[in-house]
Amino acid sequence: MNTASNEVIAEFVDVHRHYQMGDNIVRALNGVSMQVTKGDYLAIMGRSGSGKSTMLNILGCLDRPTAGEYRVGGRDVSRLSDDDLSDVRGREIGFIFQSFNLIPQLTVLENLEVPLFYQNRVGAESRAKAEYLADRVGLGNRLDHRPLELSGGQQQRVAIARALMNDPLFLLADEATGNLDSNTEKEILGLFDDLRRDGVTIVIVTHNQTVAGHADRTLWLRDGQVECIVDNLAERAAGSAAEAGGHA
Partner 1 sequence: MIADLMRTVRLGLKSLMLHKLRSSLTTAGILFGVASVIAMLAVGEGASKEALDRFRDMGVSNVLLRSKRPEETQASSSNSRFSINAFGLSYAEADRIQGLLPTTTVVRVREVVRGVVRGENWSSTITVGTEPDFLRVTNMKIREGRWITPLDLHNQENVCVLGESLARKLFPLENPMNQTVLVGTEDRFRIVGLLDYQGRAAGAAGTTYDECVFVPLSSSRRRFGDTVLNPTNNRFENIELNEIKVQARDGGEVEAVANVLRELLLPKNGSSVHKDKGDVEITVPLELLQQAEASKRMFNLVLAVIASISLLVGGIGIMNVMLATVTERTREIGIRRALGAKKKHIIQQFLVEAGVLSALGGLAGVALGMAVPYGIEHFFEQKTLILPPHVLLAFGISAAVGVVFGIYPAWRAANMDPVEALRHE
- Judged by the rule CB under 8 A, the positions of this chain that interact with partner 1 are 57, 60, 62-63, 82-83, 86-87, 89-91, 95, 97, 101, 103-106, 110, 114-115, 117-120, 122, 162, 166
CB of 236 to partner 1, least distance (A): 33
* Minimum distance of partner 1 from residue 129's CB (angstroms): 15
**Cα–Cα distance measured from residue 160 to residue 191, given in angstroms and rounded to the nearest whole number:** 9
The residue among 4 and 169 lying less far from partner 1, judged by its C-beta, is 169
Cα 209 from chain centroid?
16
Q: Which residues are CB-neighbours of 159 under 8 A, at least 6 positions away? A: 96, 97, 100, 101, 102
| Nearest distance from C-beta of residue 173 to partner 1, angstroms | 13
Measured from the CB of residue 140, what is the shortest distance to partner 1 in angstroms?
22
Q: Please work out, in degrees rounded to the nearest 5, the angle formed at the alpha carbon of residue 86 by the alpha carbons of 196 and 38.
A: 25
Strand bridging mode 8-21 / 67-72: antiparallel
CB-wise, 38 or 162, nearer to partner 1? Answer: 162
**Which CB sits closer to partner 1, 127 or 186?**
127
Q: What is the DSSP string of 17-62?
A: EEEEETTEEEEEEEEEEEEEETT-EEEEE--TTSSHHHHHHHHTTS
Beta bridge partners of 32: 15
Contact 67, 16 (CB under 8 A): yes
| For partner 1, the closer CB: 23 or 82 | 82
Residue 4 or 58: the one with the smaller Cβ distance to partner 1 is 58
User: Cβ of residue 38: shortest distance to partner 1, in angstroms?
Assistant: 21
Q: Is 215 helix (H, G, I), strand (E, B) or coil?
A: coil
What is the smallest separation between the CB atom of 54 and partner 1, expressed in angstroms? Answer: 9
